[in-house]
Amino acid sequence: MDNLLLKIDQYKTEISNFTASDGETAEAFRIKYLGTKGLVKELMGEMRNVAPENKKSFGQVMNEFKVFAEAKYEALKGAENSNGKAAADELDLSLPADPLPLGSRHPISLVRNRMVSIFQRLGFAVAEGPEIEDDWHNFTALNLPENHPARDMQDTFYISQNPDWLLRTHTSSVQVREMEKGKLPIRIICPGRVYRNETISARAHCFFHQVEGLYIAENVSFADLKQTLYFFVQEMFGKEVKIRFRPSYFPFTEPSAEMDISCLICGGPGCSVCKHTGWVEILGCGMVHPNLLDNCGIDSNKYTGFAFGMGVERITMLKYQIKDLRLFSENDVRFLKQFTSAV
Ligand code: PHE
């Protein structure tokens, strides 16, 4: 026992004289004194050789020794940290940082965000809805009942679990959902992904993105529609771009129109991009058909509205002269990298 006490005293002196010279010293100390094979553990093991009447006092000495070693370890660690801090103060913060491999927004997201912000400035709010829709919201409520021939242009994918479920073909379904809420006036844009059963080519894909718009209030006229879209085109493509409307057909609008913009490449005289017409089509639009209002419980004698819908891919292709739609979903970094500072 006396031997042991002597040893402990020696270790205490050793510990007191221990100084931290570098970052690894504290860890070396911990391993030597406090580790699983350290001196504190080893001395504790001596307990079984101590005479029973001395066990209690030896236990006390050992505890004290352990606390002493632990306190020293904490002190060493503290010293190491403050040394570390001193080193941080010497960092030259004016040096350029290591480059971080940052990604960039997808061109479709960039253009969608730009479109959304243009319409937001006109007071349109963003509305979103499910991509898996039911027949009512995607077709029937939009004046496209079963067996309507116009369904042919929007063939889609059906969910085998339930024949009533399908992947939405346009975000007009979100407009129906908003109209059903019955809160008027409505002034919304509906950005989102849509699906169609089409053969994939440079100009068509089985999924793409749309921004559709809807404005319903009292006395909304075709002139409001024209001015809204004119503002959009000027903000999106520039002040010199012209627009024109051609009569068209959509079951959900009456009258309906397609809107063209003057060709961004040749500016009018004709080139291969505009197929020598000077114009390129960008969207469909019209005055909301009264049947839609009635379907959604809105008084069609009191309210009128306009709606429009366009493909984000198409706008993006025109804006950046991209010739193939498939590039958007191929994940080729060489293509995507070109848009880091765009829009
Ligand atoms: N929903 C139509 C489409 O996807 C676009 C459209 C919207 C046309 C609103 C007219 C009015 O093709």
Interacting residues of 18 by C-beta distance below 8 A, sequence separation 6+: 29, 72, 76
One-letter amino acid for residue 175 of the chain = Q
Pocket of ligand 1 (CB under 6 A): 170, 172, 212, 250, 253, 284-286, 307-309
Q: Please state the separation of Cα 21 from the chain's center in Å.
A: 49
The greatest distance separating any two alpha carbons of the chain, rounded to the nearest whole angstrom, comes to 112
Q: Do residues 183 and 262 share a domain?
A: yes
pLDDT one-digit tens code per residue, 241-279: 999 999 999 999 999 999 999 999 888 899 988 999 999
Q: Which atom of ligand 1 is nearest to the CA of 284?
A: 8
With respect to residue 98, please indicate whether it lies within any of the assigned structural domains. no
Q: How far is the CA of 118 from the centre of ligand 1 (A)?
A: 19
Rg of the chain on CA atoms, in Å = 37
Nearest atom within ligand 1 for CA of residue 214: 9
| Residues 6 or more apart whose Cβ sits within 8 Å of residue 236 | 114, 115, 118, 315, 319
In one-letter notation, the amino acid at residue 159 is I
Q: What is the pLDDT of residue 26?
A: 83
Region 88-98: mean pLDDT is 81
Determine, yes or no, domain membership for 99.
no
User: Do 320 and 171 belong together in one domain?
Assistant: yes
Q: Are residues 256 and 311 in the same domain?
A: yes
CA distance 189 to 171: 9
The residue out of 37, 56, 89 marking a domain boundary is 89
Residue 166 counted as domain residue: yes
User: Lowest-confidence range among 20-34, 46-60, 81-95, 189-203?
Assistant: 81-95
Shared domain for 159 and 219, answered yes or no, is: yes
User: Is 100 within a domain?
Assistant: no
0.75 exceeded by pTM: no
For residue 89, what pLDDT is reported? 66
| Ligand 1 mutation pick, 124, 156, 172, max ligand atoms within 8 A of CB | 172
User: Ligand 1 pocket check: which of 169, 198, 212, 256 to mutate, most ligand atoms within 8 Å of Cβ?
Assistant: 212
> Which residues pair with residue 206 across a beta bridge?
none
3-class SS of residue 18: coil
Q: How far is the CA of 132 from the centre of ligand 1 (A)?
A: 18
Question: Closest ligand 1 atom, CA of 142?
Answer: 1
In-domain check, residue 101: no
Q: 285-324, pLDDT tens digit by residue?
A: 999 999 999 999 999 999 999 999 999 999 999 999 999 9
Question: 299 near 305, Cβ under 8 Å?
Answer: no
Give the length of the chain.
Answer: 343
| In a domain? residue 175 | yes
User: Is the residue at 96 inside a domain?
Assistant: no
* Same domain (yes/no): 328, 215: yes
Query: Among all chains, which residue has been given the structure tokens 């349109």?
Result: 124
**Which has the closest alpha carbon to 33: 48, 22, 43, 23?**
43
**Share above pLDDT 70 across residues of the chain, in percent, rounded to a whole number:** 95
pLDDT tier, 112 (very low <50, low <70, confident <90, very high otherwise): very high
**DSSP state, 289?**
P
Is 97 inside any structural domain?
Answer: no
In the chain, pLDDT over 90 holds for what percent of residues? 68
Angle between helices 222-237 and 312-320 (to 10 degrees): 40
φ, ψ of residue 169 to 5 degrees: the values are -100, -15
**Higher per-residue confidence, 172 vs 51:** 172
In this prediction, residue 83 has a pLDDT band, given cuts at 50, 70 and 90, of: low
Task: Tell me the best of 250, 258, 308, 312 to mutate to test the pocket of ligand 1, counting ligand atoms within 8 Å of each CB and taking the most.
Answer: 250
| 115-160 residue pLDDT tens | 999 999 999 999 999 999 999 999 999 999 999 999 999 999 999 9
Q: What is the mean pLDDT of residues 81-103?
A: 75
DSSP state of 158: B
Q: Residue 224 belongs to what domain range? A: 107-339
Give the Cα separation of 145 and 168 in Å (integer).
15
| Residue 263, token pair as written in the block | 């060709």
Distance 283 CA to ligand 1 centre (A): 8
| d(C-alpha 25, C-alpha 9), whole Å | 22
Report the separation in Å between the CA atom of 59 and the middle of ligand 1, taken as the mean of its atom positions: 86
Q: Could you tell me if 299 and 187 lie in one domain? A: yes
Please tell me the total count of domains within the chain.
Answer: 2
Average pLDDT of the residues of the chain: 92
Q: What is the CATH number of the domain that holds 171?
A: 3.30.930.10
| Residue 262, both tokens | 């003057």
77 CA to centre of own chain: 43
Question: How many CA atoms lie within 13 Å of 51's alpha carbon, on the beta-carbon side?
Answer: 4
Please report the atom of ligand 1 found closest to the CA of residue 212: 7
**One domain, residues 54 and 203:** no
Last residue of a domain, one of 58, 89, 120: 89
Residues 6+ apart with CB under 8 A from 133: 165, 166, 167, 168, 173
Range list of H helices, 274-311: 290-295
Whole-number pLDDT of residue 212: 98
Do 116 and 31 fall within a single domain?
Answer: no
Asked which of 33, 58, 89 is the last residue of a domain, the reply is: 89
The continuous run of DSSP H or E covering 94 comes out as: none
Over residues 271-282, the pLDDT tens digits come to 988 999 999 999
Domain match, 277 and 249 both: yes
Do 255 and 211 lie in one domain? The reply is yes
**Residue 314 φ/ψ, nearest 5 degrees:** -60, -45
Quick one: pLDDT band at residue 82, thresholds 50, 70, 90?
A: low
Q: Which atom of ligand 1 is nearest to the CA of 310?
A: 5
**Residue 201 sits in the same domain as residue 163:** yes
Same domain, 275 and 239: yes
Helix (H) and strand (E) counts in the chain: 11, 9
Residue 290 CA, distance from chain mean position? 37
For atom 4 of ligand 1, the residue with the nearest CA is 170
